[in-house]
């Protein structure tokens, strides 16, 4: 699957699978950016990200993480 910055839900789910014990709200955007770039299937360009897109990915990851805490 070719994922880009617009695929916040899918990226959030993949990040949760990789970092399931980490509270996403504690992650700095610089780290989040690198981790997204390192995901298998991610084909977006580094300069294609923005604070708004990173926040959307973080929120999707947070929703997955929060559900996993119940």
- The number of folded domains in the chain is 1
Q: Is residue 2 part of a domain?
A: no
Strand-pair partners of 3: 42
Q: Is residue 20 part of a domain?
A: yes
Q: Is residue 1 part of a domain?
A: no
Q: Is residue 61 part of a domain?
A: yes
Q: Which domain holds residue 37?
A: 8-69
Q: Is residue 13 part of a domain?
A: yes
CATH number at residue 49: 1.10.10.600
Element (H, E) at 30: helix 29-38
Q: Is residue 3 part of a domain?
A: no
Q: Is the per-residue pLDDT at 44 higher than 90?
A: yes
> How many helices and strands, by DSSP H and E, does the chain display?
3, 0
Q: Is the per-residue pLDDT at 1 higher than 90?
A: no
Which pTM was predicted?
Answer: 0.94
């Amino acid at each position: 699957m070719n994922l880009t910055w617009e695929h916040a839900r899918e990226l959030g789910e993949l990040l949760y699978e990789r970092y399931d014990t980490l509270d996403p709200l504690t992650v700095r955007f610089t780290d989040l950016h690198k981790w997204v770039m390192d995901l298998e299937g991610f084909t977006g360009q580094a300069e294609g990200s923005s604070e708004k897109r990173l926040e959307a990915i973080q929120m999707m990851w947070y929703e997955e993480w929060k559900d996993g805490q119940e």
